[in-house]
Amino acid sequence: MKVYYISPSTIPSRSANSIHVANMCEGIGQLGHEVILFAHSNLCNSVSCQQQLKDSYGIDNSKIKLKIFYSNQNRGIEFFIALYALMRFMLDLIKNTAPQYIISRNLYAAIFFGLLFRENVIYETHSPEYGFRKKLQKLLLTSKKIKTVVISKALKRIIQNFHHISSENIYVFHDAARDGQLRLGLLQRKELSQQLLSNMFNLDDYQKVVGYFGHLYPGRGIEIIEELAKLNSTCAFVVYGGNEADIEEYKSRNMSKNLFFMGYIHPKKVHKAMVMMDVLLMPYQKSVSIGIKGVDTSNWMSPMKLFEYLSAGVPIISSNISVLKEVLIDGENCLLVEPDDVNSWSIALQNIISNAELEEKLGFNAYNLYKDKYTWKHRAKGMLTLI
C-alpha cells in the first residue's frame, strides 16, 4: 500500500515534531507500506534529504520516499507543503498510482484532501488551534470523511470542550518509541557506562548514574535536578539535551561536582545512552514550555521521552501529573512524586538505590509495557485501521 504522510515539519531539525514524523514514517514502513513523506527543508532537496532521515534521525529510510518543499523562508511553510502534496497527488491520480492512505499532521493538507477531494484522511493534531486555524480545525473534527488522532485522553477532552463537539470521531494514540529496543542487564549497563562516561568522571566514585534527557526549557524540572544533585552526592547526575544557549547557562551556574551537562545528543545515540543509566528522571513541572512563548502543554502532553524511557527498561521517577498517569502507574512501572517537592524526589531515589527488588520490578514492567503497546509500529498499525 502507498501512504501519504503530510507533515508541517522541517527536515533535518531537532524539533520534536520532525522526530515524531520521522519515527511514524519508519513505523508505517515496518508494516510493509511505501511511505511518501512531505516536509520542508532550507538545507537540502528531496534526494540529499533522503539520506538525512537515516543520518539525522537514525531511522530505516528504505520504505520512505521524501518529497521536500525547498524554501529559505519560514513564513507559510505548512500551507506550501500542503499545496506541494496536492500537486503530487494529482500527478499520481493521472498515473493511477494514488495513495490508499493519507495521514496528515498538516492542517491545510487535511483540509485539501479531506474536505475538497473527499478522500479518507487521518488528521493528527497535538494541540487546539486558535484564530482562523481554529475554524479550519473544527471543520476537520466534524467531517465524517476525516478521523482525528490525538496524543492523550486529556487532549481529546480539551479539544472536545474547546470546539463544543462530540468526541466520537477523535481517537487517542499516545506517542511511542522505536521498535526492537533492547533492555540490558545490570552488568551490561555498567560496561556500557564505562565505555561512554569514564572520560567525564570516575564511575567508581558513585553508587548510581541518574539520567535526564530532553530540553532545558522552563517547566522541564532542571532546577529539581540541580537540588537533587546537592542532596545525593553519592550519585552522578547526567543531563543530555538543550540548545546551546541553555546548556552554557546551566553549565556556568553549576556548582555541583556530581552534576554533568552533556549537551545535545544525536537521536541515533539516545537509546544507547538511556540504557546505561541506573535511574531516569522526568521532573515535569505544573507548567511546561515547548520553547514557544505562551504555550503550556502540561495538561495534555504525551512526551516521546516517556516512551523512550520505558524502552530503556530502567527505573523511572516521574512527576505526579495527571496526563502522565494515562501510561504510568506508581509503584508498578515508575515512582511518582510531587513535581516541586525536592525531598520527595530524593526519597524516591533512595528507595530505588536501597531496594534491588524494586529497581528490577520497575524496569521490567516499564520495558514490557513499551514492548507490548508503545512502539511506533504498534501506533501506525492502530491508526491505519481507522480507514
State how far the Cα of 31 lies from the Cα of 135, in Å rounded to an integer. Answer: 35
Q: Provide the pLDDT for residue 294.
A: 47
Topology annotation, domain 2-178+375-384 = Rossmann fold (3.40.50)
Asked, colleague to colleague, whether 2-178+375-384 and 186-373 share their fold, the answer is yes
Which triple of cell numbers denotes residue 125? 493534531
Q: Provide the pLDDT for residue 296.
A: 56
Listed as own residue / partner, the contacts of 57-60 with beta carbons closer than 8 Å and 24 or more positions apart are 57/12, 57/18, 57/19, 57/22, 57/23, 57/267, 57/268, 58/266, 58/267, 58/268, 58/269, 59/22, 59/23, 59/25, 59/26, 59/178, 60/26, 60/29, 60/30
Which triple of cell numbers denotes residue 187? 552488568
| For the chain, domain boundaries | 2-178+375-384, 186-373
Q: What angle do CA 260, 210, 232 make, to 5 degrees?
A: 85
Which CATH number applies to 186-373?
Answer: 3.40.50.2000
Q: Provide the pLDDT for residue 128.
A: 94
From first to last of its 387 residues, the chain has per-residue pLDDT tens of 999 999 999 999 888 899 999 999 999 999 999 999 999 998 887 888 888 888 889 899 999 999 999 988 888 999 999 999 999 999 999 999 999 999 999 999 999 999 888 888 999 999 999 999 999 999 999 998 899 999 999 999 999 999 999 878 999 999 999 999 989 888 888 888 888 888 888 888 899 999 999 988 777 889 999 999 999 999 999 999 988 888 888 888 888 999 999 988 888 889 999 999 999 999 998 765 455 454 456 777 889 999 999 999 999 999 999 999 999 999 999 999 999 999 999 999 999 999 999 999 999 999 999 999 999 999 999 999 998
Give the strand order in the sheet containing 279-282. Answer: 259-263, 235-240, 208-213, 279-282, 316-319, 335-337
- Grid look-up 513541572 returns 285
Q: Provide the pLDDT for residue 271.
A: 92
Indicate the pTM of the whole model. Answer: 0.92
Q: Provide the pLDDT for residue 288.
A: 56
- Whether residue 71 contacts residue 40, with contact meaning beta carbons closer than 8 Å, is answered with yes
Strands (E), the chain: 2-10, 34-41, 64-70, 101-104, 121-124, 146-150, 170-172, 208-213, 235-240, 259-263, 279-282, 316-319, 335-337
